[in-house]
Amino acid sequence: MPKIATSQDVQTVITTFEMTPGTCQDLMDELTAAYEEFISKQPGFIAAGLHVNDAQTRIANYSQWRSREDFQAMLRSDEMRKRNRKINELCKSFEPVMYDVTATFD
């Protein structure tokens, strides 16, 4: 389970996907399979969550990695490149962005 804290020394990645309601479930199935079968087993993976908006036009993915290099190695793998081609077919766009947690509020 992701833990959001400024004291953690982790790499946070937030990826947004834009799609139509007609492809939302197919994309969610692909992303879920990618996490269950591959991503979660990669070195440096800590945790992730998938979020869908109520219109089913956007998916937000929050993931945490031990380091930027671990995340990049996963993205560059042959397996993930193959999966990203399928994911790209199901959405208008997607963009992973790396962040540092600078503040949290309870």
Share above pLDDT 70 across residues of the chain, in percent, rounded to a whole number: 98
Task: Please state the three-class secondary structure of the chain as a single string.
Answer: CCCCCCCCCCEEEEEEEECCHHHHHHHHHHHHHHHHHCHHHCCCEEEEEEEECCCCCEEEEEEEECCHHHHHHHHHCHHHHHHHHHHHHHCCEEEEEEECCCCCCC
Report pLDDT for 5. Answer: 79
Lowest model confidence (mean pLDDT) among 6-15, 31-40, 59-68, 69-78: 6-15
Report pLDDT for 28. Answer: 97
Q: Which domains does the chain have, with CATH numbers?
A: 11-99 (3.30.70.100)
